[in-house]
Amino acid sequence: MKNTAKLLNGAQFTIAAAEPRQWPPEPAAEVAFAGRSNVGKSSAINTIAGRKGLARTSKTPGRTQQIVFFDLGGGARLVDLPGYGYARVPDRLRAGWAVLIERYLSEREALRGLILVMDARHPLTELDRNLLEWCEPAGRPVHILLTKTDKLSRNQAKQTEMKVAQAVSELENEVTVQLFSSLKRTGVEQAREKIGTWFGDR
Ligand code: GDP
């Protein structure tokens, strides 16, 4: 998996796209990250890529419409989908978010897999379930990162992992689950391995 670490480490910001027509051209191979605001998505992207300032935290409502693309070279990209569930986002923006994300997840040819970041203390919120639903019909594989596990005991974390794995086992697409912590850097290799598989270890 050294190659994947190297590939991810070379990520270059390409565009923060406010509209689908700004999405970079296909064919390409993209791995996207999604998750509730404040769940630790940016930290997870930075930890997995081994690059501190790569993904910025998206705490302002204006960012809810932007999809950020990072080039890895050779047509591979990381994609940071806007956070959601931000309390102060007006309904109008929230609806726009849903349309945009559903479109990306269901139509984007380049999408190889979605990393869905959840807080291990509050997994499978309604919005998380929406994201899973949008990936299922198109058969997109999803890898769930249960992050901030440093806030749980080892036993609690294991229990949560099992519960979530059980809950998603009925879905028709491939959905896998792992424990993660950006703070303690746990699960980093496992996440890179999954991403490497999706990129076909290029
Ligand atoms: P985002 O809004 O989902 O991109 O979340 P951020 O990556 O900005 O993280 C939100 C907050 O959670 C920040 O205060 C981070 O320092 C904290 N955080 C992120 N990952 C972890 C983690 O693995 N463990 C702990 N304890 N805190 C984390």
- Phi/psi region, residue 162 (left: phi>0; alpha: psi -120 to 50; beta: rest), is alpha
CA separation for the pair 20, 107 (Å, rounded)? 11
Distance 182 CA to ligand 1 centre (A): 8
Q: Which residues, at least 6 apart from 15, have a Cβ–Cβ distance to it below 8 Å?
A: 22, 24, 68, 69
Ligand 1 proximity of 63 Cβ (cutoff 6 Å): no
Q: Which residues, at least 6 apart from 44, have a Cβ–Cβ distance to it below 8 Å?
A: 33, 35, 115, 117, 145, 147, 180, 182, 191
Collapsed DSSP state (helix, strand, coil) of residue 142: strand
Predicted local distance difference test score (pLDDT) of residue 202: 46
Distance 109 CA to ligand 1 centre (A): 30
Ligand 1 proximity of 148 Cβ (cutoff 6 Å): yes
Residue of 87, 69, 65, 92 whose CA lies nearest to 79? 69
Ligand 1 proximity of 186 Cβ (cutoff 6 Å): no
Predicted local distance difference test score (pLDDT) of residue 88: 62
Mutate to test the pocket of ligand 1, among 41, 43, 64, 119 (most ligand atoms within 8 A of CB): 43
Ligand 1 proximity of 187 Cβ (cutoff 6 Å): no
Residue-level pLDDT, tens digit, the chain, 202 residues = 579 999 999 999 999 998 999 999 999 999 999 999 889 999 999 999 999 989 975 555 556 678 999 999 989 999 999 887 765 667 777 778 888 999 999 999 999 999 999 999 999 998 899 999 999 999 999 999 999 999 999 999 999 999 999 999 999 999 999 999 999 999 999 999 999 999 995 4
Element (H, E) at 179: strand 175-179
Which residue type occupies 89?
V
Ligand 1 proximity of 113 Cβ (cutoff 6 Å): no
Nearest CA to ligand 1 atom 25: 148
What's the CA angle centered on 112, arms 186 and 67, to 5 degrees?
A: 80
Predicted local distance difference test score (pLDDT) of residue 94: 73
The sign of the CA dihedral 187, 44, 32, 142 is: positive
* b/e per residue 50-82 (b: at least 16 CB within 10 A): eeeebbeebeebebbbbbbbbbbeebbbbbbbb
CA separation for the pair 74, 99 (Å, rounded)? 29
